[in-house]
Structure 1
Amino acid sequence: MNSQNNPLVSVIVPVYNVEQYLDECLNSIRQQSYENLEIIVVEDCSTDNSLNTFIKHSEDPRVKLIQHEKNSGLSAARNTGIDAAQGKFIIFVDSDDIVHLSLIELCVKYAIVNDADLITYDFKAFEDGAKLIPQLDLPNIENFKILEPGEGYFNQQHFAWLKFIRTDLLKSRKLYFPVGLYYEDWPFHWELGLVANKKYHIPAELLLYRQRKTSITGSLGKKLLDLFKVHSLVLNLLEKYKAVSLKEKFANKVKMSQWSILTRIDKHYLAQALNNTKKINKDLKNKNYKYEINIRILITNLITSLPNILALKLLKILRILLKR
């Protein structure tokens, strides 16, 4: 098979304090049915035994280790991987997850056949502690779907680890993850969707997502405030690319996110979350972003339209009723 039909794929694996998960993750990558890989492990100054756990995997010549001089976070680790990638395609795998053993083979197949910029796929969540064996059988997925610019892709989850991307698209657009923010997948997801022309989706659960209590997606503390920052980043992207057709879709996601933040965030950050909600709502209104109305959005709009003293009292009552 020539290099055109057997292109090198760069698998980027950020590593930070995952000693109990790293073996499962790297084994599922090294055992892929598609073998022409470079596995770029970016070690972000772990304080546990992750580095020693990695050592036995370094016997595989496809595995490359890059070590940060100081802990810089997930975004920086992924960006380091992008810069180092030599493959025609890039795929991100979080170091506590497990991938289907045919994932990359399927992605390469559909990317080549359709000259795709981007392939997405589904995932299956599992509870931390459950023992799962990565699958090798090829799913029957003849009915994969093309993702049109204004639909499909932007309804999907934001996670970077659900994407198989043409490398020159990322590098030519200088598309990176924002450093210093949590929920960094949001702006990356939206800008990637805006610049990728040919997008396809494989309707199969090809990644096993480990649900951990300590994960960012489950955080109720100060980290949750970063959602407001990434919402603003995405809003600016939509304005930059003049993506008028996506304004309502984005506004719907923001409004539903506000309910989740205001009813879940730690009480010590509730006042700040309220102020941030008011600010983004003002921006949406000034830029004429419309959105769908449901009971949660109605309640959120009513509360956030009130003076802060009254709004905070109502939010506290609402959280009690919801047992938050």
Structure 2
Amino acid sequence: MNPKISIIVPIYNVEKYLSRCLESLLNQKFTDAEIICINDGSTDQSGNILHDFQKNHPELIVMNKRNNGVSEARNDGLRIAKGEYIGFVDPDDWIHPAMYHELYETAVKENADIVMSSYVREFGTHSNVKKFSCHPVVVYRDSEVQSIFLKRLIGPTDKEAASPENLDSWGTVWSKLYRAELIKNHHLYFTDLKLIGSNEDTLFNIHAVYHAHSIVFINKPLYHYWRANESSVTTKYNSKLTGQFLTLYQIMETFIKDKNLGYEYTAVLKNRISLNTLGLGLNTISKSNKSSFAERSGQLKEIISNDQIKRALRQFNTSHCSVAWKTFFFFAKTGFVPGLFLMLTLIEFLRKTVRQGEKNESDESASSGNHHEPRRA
């Protein structure tokens, strides 16, 4: 008989964290699951670790392949998954022992296409629960799925845009469980990061949610998202990121037009584009960007001079934003690069200061040390 759940784990050079991840999956309360590990050409000890675990755990399926990126690794997992529902776990993360039990039981009870939980951000020295302001369980059905959930994935409303840190807090795939038929009947897959730079999770979810009839959110942190991995590709300067993000926006624009979703979806996409000037800016001033100050200033100028980004910034409503964010977007809109560079430098400094402050606070706390921290700047 086929398992009730397939859990797909894309793996590339994570020997420091892989055992922790696998142990959490193998020790979970839910037992009727296959764990599909896609070894994406690892050159460290990840392959040997998988081999050792597989000897004692027949539910562990290992596929070894040449390196082709996380998106294709997940796609490989989707091709062989046999479960009634499908979940994703990143190899440097781990799960609560009851996570898949709760997600699956809720999916069956509510006849849900997608079930999602909250998560904990783990920094090694301290933890932060991602808090959502809603009821313990929220059910979206039919028209609500698109008018609320799909729109939120494409981009924030003007009011939501006042909190840039929440831009993609709903867009992850690793905190969710998907009905397998939803994915396979609509031929859903992950887009190559070489094309879009990031947000492959969000893009996958946009297509999944569009076809879903019911989504349930469990407002409980059941997934542990590891943020202390300094070797993660998301911590490095990406010289191609602006072009990749422009490709991402084009894919989203085409989706909106093809599905006749209307102006309100185009408006929230423009809000996403505006907020992403922050991520593009932080990428540009990154210490790992070895360009000179003048060159980085020129790179910032190119970003905010792009026609699509300029149009988005022009319509971006900052009335709900704090003074700091109003100042940042004023510089971005007017093309004042020195001010924008200064604001980005201050934001990066404050991010590190806040994290250090929360680390100290969690070190002094007598309980779990869980404190809220924004997902992004």
TM-score, normalised to structure 2's length?
Answer: 0.71
SS in 2 for 1:160: coil
State the partner residue of 2:175: 162
Q: Does 1:240 align with 2:268?
A: no
Give the superposition deviation at 1:290: 5.6
Give the superposition deviation at 1:182: 3.2
Taking the aligned partners of 2:188 and 2:299, their CA distance within structure 1 comes to 30
Q: Does 1:316 align with 2:341?
A: yes
SS in 1 for 2:103: helix
Taking the aligned partners of 1:30 and 1:323, their CA distance within structure 2 comes to 38
State the partner residue of 2:279: 260
SS in 2 for 1:222: coil
Cα–Cα, structure 1 residues 128 and 90, in superposed 2: closer, same or farther, change >3 Å?
same
Question: What residue identity is the alignment partner of 1:126?
Answer: E
Cα–Cα, structure 1 residues 232 and 214, in superposed 2: closer, same or farther, change >3 Å?
farther
Contact 1:182–1:216 (CA under 8 A) maintained in structure 2 = no
Question: What residue identity is the alignment partner of 1:10?
Answer: S
Taking the aligned partners of 1:221 and 1:30, their CA distance within structure 2 comes to 35
State the partner residue of 1:24: 20
State the partner residue of 1:136: none
Taking the aligned partners of 1:162 and 1:270, their CA distance within structure 2 comes to 38
Give the superposition deviation at 1:284: 5.0
State the partner residue of 1:185: 201
State the partner residue of 1:98: 94
SS in 2 for 1:158: coil
Taking the aligned partners of 1:170 and 1:238, their CA distance within structure 2 comes to 20
State the partner residue of 1:120: 116
Give the superposition deviation at 1:151: 1.7
Taking the aligned partners of 2:126 and 2:47, their CA distance within structure 1 comes to 24
Contact 1:122–1:202 (CA under 8 A) maintained in structure 2 = yes
Taking the aligned partners of 2:20 and 2:124, their CA distance within structure 1 comes to 12
Taking the aligned partners of 2:303 and 2:78, their CA distance within structure 1 comes to 32
Taking the aligned partners of 2:209 and 2:174, their CA distance within structure 1 comes to 14
Give the superposition deviation at 1:291: 4.3
Taking the aligned partners of 1:276 and 1:229, their CA distance within structure 2 comes to 14
State the partner residue of 2:317: 292
Alignment partner for residue 144 of structure 1, among 134, 137, 141?
137
TM-score, normalised to structure 1's length?
Answer: 0.82
Alignment partner for residue 251 of structure 1, among 263, 270, 273?
270
Alignment partner for residue 8 of structure 1, among 1, 4, 7?
4
Higher RCO by CA contacts (8 Å cutoff, separation 6 or greater)? 2
Contact 2:297–2:341 (CA under 8 A) maintained in structure 1 = no
Taking the aligned partners of 1:204 and 1:9, their CA distance within structure 2 comes to 20
Taking the aligned partners of 1:231 and 1:270, their CA distance within structure 2 comes to 24
Please, which runs of 5 or more residues in structure 2 have no aligned partner? 128-133, 154-168, 350-377
State the partner residue of 1:194: 210
Question: What residue identity is the alignment partner of 2:281?
Answer: L
Contact 1:274–1:304 (CA under 8 A) maintained in structure 2 = no
Taking the aligned partners of 1:319 and 1:28, their CA distance within structure 2 comes to 38
Contact 1:8–1:37 (CA under 8 A) maintained in structure 2 = yes
Contact 2:328–2:343 (CA under 8 A) maintained in structure 1 = no
Of the structure 1 ranges 183-192 and 91-100, higher mean CA displacement relative to structure 2 is found in 183-192
